[in-house]
Structure 1
Amino acid sequence: MPRLEFSGPDLGRVRFAIMPFQETLKAARGLGLPVAPAGLAGWRHTALSRLPAAARPALALCGAHPRHLPDFLTPQPPSGGQLTFDDELAAALADPGLPVEDDTQAFRSVLRTPSRVVEDLLAEPDRGRRALTASFVALHRAVLAADWPRLHAQLAADVAERARTAAQHGVEAMLAGLAPGLVRWSHPFLEYAGPPAPDHRLAGRGLVLVPSMFLTDAVHRQLNDRQQPMLFYPARTALGFWRDDRAADGRLAGPVGGARARILRLLAARPRGTSELAAELGVAPSTASEQLAALRRAGLVTTTRSGRQACHEPTALAWSLLDVYIG
């Protein structure tokens, strides 16, 4: 496994970012690869059915290689403030100072088969960037924009959970649990799944950790001399989120309703508070509270309180329903 080597200062310079355009890239990868990444088959089938022709170049580029993209497509996230899709897209494709040709040539060198989009980008970089901008906008509007509040809530919940772990148990403990099976922490190295490569020294630059709801099967990295290193990893709820969507449309939705089916699936993974559930569902806390009250009346959820904090978990009856309808 390739490794990132941490020095003492690097542990103090680990930060998180939520990057909406990068989620569009990961979604395009999920649509463009020959086989859907783990858990995304149902979403992919639906998304492809409503994909406009204008989005095809974005899919072709992001599906050309399972792990790599031209570096210019991943701009450095700012150290503070929220990124918007438009701002991040402009930073990736509208900055005339970016080494588009060099990055595209480097990407071309790792491809096994030629790519028309890559060749067009090399032949006419400015025109190619404009075409890609239009393609990514079309893709985002068609398959992500409507769901972005829910996706963002999942990503924000992931970052909050990692931050709590780091605050309570230290950054190394957080890194150790980042993505079991894909990432392994053994001081001073963070190992991640991928083909063999020389160790990469962070050398005091730290690391930006970026959760993804579409990167369910791998970790990706962005390592170059002009940016702070970045590691993209599966959000903690990514696989469960897509399974929950299928469950909400499936058999469990019959007896309890789609929204309540998703709540039971989330609580089956671990007990949660009302605010955390609301964030993961992408709804107002009052809406989550109403759904929880209905589940309590049905004998499916039990709630314990400590001061002003409430913690919800499934009852024995709920576990029986989950076993019968989902397995």
Structure 2
Amino acid sequence: MPRLVFSDSDLGRVRFAVLPFQETLKAARGLGLPAPPPGLAAWRHAGRAALPAAARPVVALCSAHPRHLPDFLTPQPAAGPMTFEDELHAALDDPAAPVLQDTAAFAGVLDTVPPVVGTLLRQPTRARRALRDAFAAFHRAVLAADWPRLRAQLAADVAYRARLAARHGVEAMLATLCPPHVRWEHPYLEFAGPVAPDYALGGRGLVLAPSMFLTDGVHRQLNDRQQPMLFYPARTAGAFWRDSGGRDWPDGRLAGAVGERRAAVLRALARRSGRGTADLAAALGVTPATASAHVANLRRAGLVVTTRVARTARHELTPLGWDLLDLNAG
């Protein structure tokens, strides 16, 4: 297994990122591979039916190789949250990006070079503009409607890993990151993939990015010009796709434990902590009185804590509430 080599300073520079454009790349890969990644067959059928002709070059590019893409498509993520447009701009509008060099390296690992890669080699500036439009068309047609649900799953994964690191340390979090695809044994993070030399992080740390579409292993982004990155399957991806592709996702074991409405309250507070009663009611589609009653029951059970800011009640999950969600994740 390939290995990333950590120094002590690298352990202090591990961070997480939720990256919508990178999820678009993984989704396009899932649509184009000869066989769908595990769990994505039903979603792929619907995605292919919705795919506009303008977005087909994106699918051809992202599925040309099962593990690799041109490096310029995965730029250094910002420290704060990034929108799809933010990432798209960083990937395709930076005049300093070595597009020709990265594309040539990518073409070198392909058995068959698709036309979109050939165009990038011959006319990189023009091809990037065309790709920008194609990615936007793909995102609108295939991902935009489902993105709020997908983002909630990714944010929940990051929150879970952050709590694990806070309670037990970064190394404990790395040790449970993504079995069986990833294994931690100090100072090495091993991951499934073709044999390769050890890669020393060199004090730059590591960006960990969960993915809902990467259900068949991990992907890495390692080069000398940016912080190393590792993409891994989000822990709820299997259950999400199993349960009708995430549409009208049932709360499963959690609903059985506390009831459907209270499970919905817990998940809403996990997605955004500190909601007010009216905000929570709007998110659940119930009256404020009903939301307040559900919160009161959860508060009595020790799963929610309520504080007052001016005249507004703010609700948050307690550690026990987080533990219940973690225990009953798919």
Under a length normalisation based on structure 2, what TM-score does the superposition of the two structures give? 0.82
Deviation at 1:93, TM superposition (A): 0.6
Q: How does 1:58-137 map to 2 (within 5 A)?
A: 58-79=58-79, 81-137=80-136
One-letter amino acid of the counterpart of residue 23, structure 2: E
Deviation at 1:232, TM superposition (A): 0.4
Deviation at 1:289, TM superposition (A): 9.5
One-letter amino acid of the counterpart of residue 74, structure 2: T
Q: Percent identity of the aligned residues?
A: 63
One-letter amino acid of the counterpart of residue 305, structure 1: G
One-letter amino acid of the counterpart of residue 252, structure 2: L
Q: Following the alignment from structure 1 to structure 2, what is the Cα–Cα distance between the partners of residues 49 and 165?
A: 40
- The yes-or-no answer on 1:264 pairing with 2:252 is yes
Q: Which runs of 5+ in 1 are unaligned?
A: 249-257, 315-327
Q: Following the alignment from structure 2 to structure 1, what is the Cα–Cα distance between the partners of residues 82 and 91?
A: 12
**CA deviation digits over 1:156-211, x for unaligned, max 9?**
11100000000000000000111011000000000001000000000100000001
**What RMSD in Å do the two structures reach over aligned CA positions?**
3.1
Deviation at 1:115, TM superposition (A): 1.5
**CA deviation digits over 1:263-305, x for unaligned, max 9?**
1255579999765522678997435596xx99xx9xxx9x943
Q: Following the alignment from structure 1 to structure 2, what is the Cα–Cα distance between the partners of residues 64 and 137?
A: 19
Range moving further from structure 2, 269-278 or 9-18: 269-278
Contact 2:240 2:246 (C-alpha < 8 Å) held by counterparts: no
Q: Residue 8 of structure 2 corresponds to which residue in structure 1?
A: 8
Q: How does 1:10-25 map to 2 (within 5 A)?
A: 10-25=10-25
**CA deviation digits over 1:217-263, x for unaligned, max 9?**
11000000000000000111111111122586xxxxxxxxx45xx11
**CA deviation digits over 1:125-166, x for unaligned, max 9?**
011101111110000000111111111111111100000000
Q: Following the alignment from structure 1 to structure 2, what is the Cα–Cα distance between the partners of residues 270 and 163?
A: 25
Aligned with 2:267 (options 277, 283, 291): 277
Change beyond 3 A, Cα 1:128–1:172: same
SS at match of 1:78: coil
Deviation at 1:67, TM superposition (A): 0.3
Q: Following the alignment from structure 1 to structure 2, what is the Cα–Cα distance between the partners of residues 269 and 181?
A: 29
Q: Residue 198 of structure 2 corresponds to which residue in structure 1?
A: 199
SS at match of 2:103: helix
Q: Following the alignment from structure 1 to structure 2, what is the Cα–Cα distance between the partners of residues 228 and 265?
A: 38
One-letter amino acid of the counterpart of residue 268, structure 2: A
Q: Following the alignment from structure 1 to structure 2, what is the Cα–Cα distance between the partners of residues 306 and 131?
A: 50
- The yes-or-no answer on 1:42 pairing with 2:37 is no
Under a length normalisation based on structure 1, what TM-score does the superposition of the two structures give? 0.82
Change beyond 3 A, Cα 1:78–1:289: same
Q: Residue 215 of structure 2 corresponds to which residue in structure 1?
A: 216
Change beyond 3 A, Cα 1:304–1:269: closer
SS at match of 2:101: helix
Q: Following the alignment from structure 1 to structure 2, what is the Cα–Cα distance between the partners of residues 101 and 180?
A: 36
Change beyond 3 A, Cα 1:267–1:37: farther
Q: Following the alignment from structure 1 to structure 2, what is the Cα–Cα distance between the partners of residues 214 and 280?
A: 22
SS at match of 1:23: helix
Contact 1:153 1:279 (C-alpha < 8 Å) held by counterparts: no
- The yes-or-no answer on 1:52 pairing with 2:49 is no
Q: Following the alignment from structure 1 to structure 2, what is the Cα–Cα distance between the partners of residues 89 and 137?
A: 8
Change beyond 3 A, Cα 1:176–1:276: farther
- The yes-or-no answer on 1:240 pairing with 2:239 is yes
Q: Which runs of 5+ in 2 are unaligned?
A: 306-317, 326-330
Q: Following the alignment from structure 2 to structure 1, what is the Cα–Cα distance between the partners of residues 256 and 181?
A: 23
- The yes-or-no answer on 1:188 pairing with 2:187 is yes
Contact 2:157 2:235 (C-alpha < 8 Å) held by counterparts: yes
Contact 2:55 2:134 (C-alpha < 8 Å) held by counterparts: yes
Aligned residue pairs, count: 297
Q: Following the alignment from structure 1 to structure 2, what is the Cα–Cα distance between the partners of residues 307 and 64?
A: 48
Q: Following the alignment from structure 2 to structure 1, what is the Cα–Cα distance between the partners of residues 232 and 258?
A: 21
SS at match of 1:146: coil
Q: Following the alignment from structure 1 to structure 2, what is the Cα–Cα distance between the partners of residues 62 and 207?
A: 23
One-letter amino acid of the counterpart of residue 32, structure 2: G
